[in-house]
Amino acid sequence: MQPSWKALIQEIVAQLPAEFSLRDLLKHEADLARFYPANKHIAAKIRQTLQILRDQGMIAFHGDGRYTKRNVAPRYSPIIDFSGGENLTSRAQIARQVLETWAELNLFCFACDADALTRLTANTPVADFACAKCAARYQLKGKNGRFGGTIPGAAYKPLVDAIRAGACPHYVLVEYDERYSTVVFGTAIAGPHITEDRVIARKPLAESARRAGWIGCSVVIEGLPSVALVEPTSLDPGKVRADWQTIL
Ligand SMILES: [Zn+2]
């Protein structure tokens, strides 16, 4: 599986001394090109990935292409960037793309200590992301607002086949608010908990539809245990009181 840019750059950074330079990373351009032979902008991708690592607090910039590693856990951001989807026409497509980008930058593996997941190609059945380290697979579901007890699934048969094979991916539910460009709640459900009786087939698409005869599904998630990834939180009262004094 193709590792994500973030995972590749992190691996290189891990081998560098606490202080390093952009040049140290650019030396690995040829190694990186082996993973992404079609990419003609490896250096730009290195810079972009370093910015992400900086935004997540893992490295600090000091100007002139000099960096230091910060020995802290990555900080993930709930902010969704809706500016990336201008070249797409449907709202659903835009939402899908920006959410996948958010997930690629912010999701980590729950099953092992990998800090990033790899986006799978668009035609991969059932799953959207996978962990390059432990091979855990994840399906991303997003909604502007809150999900109810039943969520829309994709194709019926591949999901049932995956469940029967004991390979149902974990579900990551992202409930966002487009007005604030932010994820409000993120929850994860374990794949093995999604049993076949929870998958409800929909009516086949009509003959007039582009994908006539295609059968989608709904997945009943009501009552399943979940863990929280993102949730609204309030600030420490001590900090609020201290800040209050500064504005008086
Ligand atoms: Zn993993």
State which residues form the domain around 92.
82-230
Q: Give domain status of residue 242, yes or no.
A: no
Beta-sheet strand order (sheet of 150-155): 150-155, 216-220, 199-201
Residue 141 shares a structural domain with residue 224: yes
Q: How far apart are CA 61 and CA 147, in angstroms?
A: 39
Q: Give domain status of residue 241, yes or no.
A: no
Could you tell me the distance, in angstroms and rounded to a whole number, from the CA of residue 119 to the centre of ligand 1? 13
Could you tell me the distance, in angstroms and rounded to a whole number, from the CA of residue 170 to the centre of ligand 1? 12
Residue 77's pLDDT is: 82
User: Could you tell me the pLDDT band of residue 1, with boundaries at 50, 70 and 90?
Assistant: low
Burial 128-164 (b: 16+ CB within 10 A, else e): bbbbbbeebbbbbbbbeeebeeebebbbbeebbebbe
Mean pLDDT of 51-80: 85
CATH number of the domain enclosing 49: 1.10.10.10
Q: Give domain status of residue 41, yes or no.
A: yes
User: Could you tell me the pLDDT band of residue 71, with boundaries at 50, 70 and 90?
Assistant: confident
150-186 pLDDT, tens digit per residue, is: 999 989 999 999 999 999 999 999 999 999 989 999 9
Could you tell me the distance, in angstroms and rounded to a whole number, from the CA of residue 135 to the centre of ligand 1? 6
**What Rg, from alpha-carbon coordinates, does the chain have?**
21
- Residues, CB within 5 angstroms of ligand 1 (ion): 109, 111-112, 114, 131, 133-134, 136
Percentage of residues in the chain with pLDDT exceeding 70? Answer: 97
Q: How far apart are CA 101 and CA 77, in angstroms?
A: 12
Residue 153 shares a structural domain with residue 206: yes
pTM score of the predicted model: 0.76
> Domain count of the chain?
2
Q: Give domain status of residue 223, yes or no.
A: yes
Residue 215's pLDDT is: 96
**What residues contact 59, with CB distance under 8 A and at least 6 apart?**
13, 50, 53, 67, 68, 69, 70
Residue 131 shares a structural domain with residue 86: yes
Residue 152 shares a structural domain with residue 221: yes
Residue 100 shares a structural domain with residue 151: yes
User: Could you tell me the pLDDT band of residue 11, with boundaries at 50, 70 and 90?
Assistant: confident
Whether the predicted pLDDT of 248 surpasses 90: yes
16-48 pLDDT, tens digit per residue, is: 999 999 999 999 999 999 988 888 899 999 998
Could you tell me the distance, in angstroms and rounded to a whole number, from the CA of residue 138 to the centre of ligand 1? 10
Q: Which amino acid belongs to residue 151?
A: I
Residue 61 shares a structural domain with residue 99: no
Could you tell me the distance, in angstroms and rounded to a whole number, from the CA of residue 98 to the centre of ligand 1? 23
User: Could you tell me the pLDDT band of residue 85, with boundaries at 50, 70 and 90?
Assistant: low
Whether the predicted pLDDT of 3 surpasses 90: no
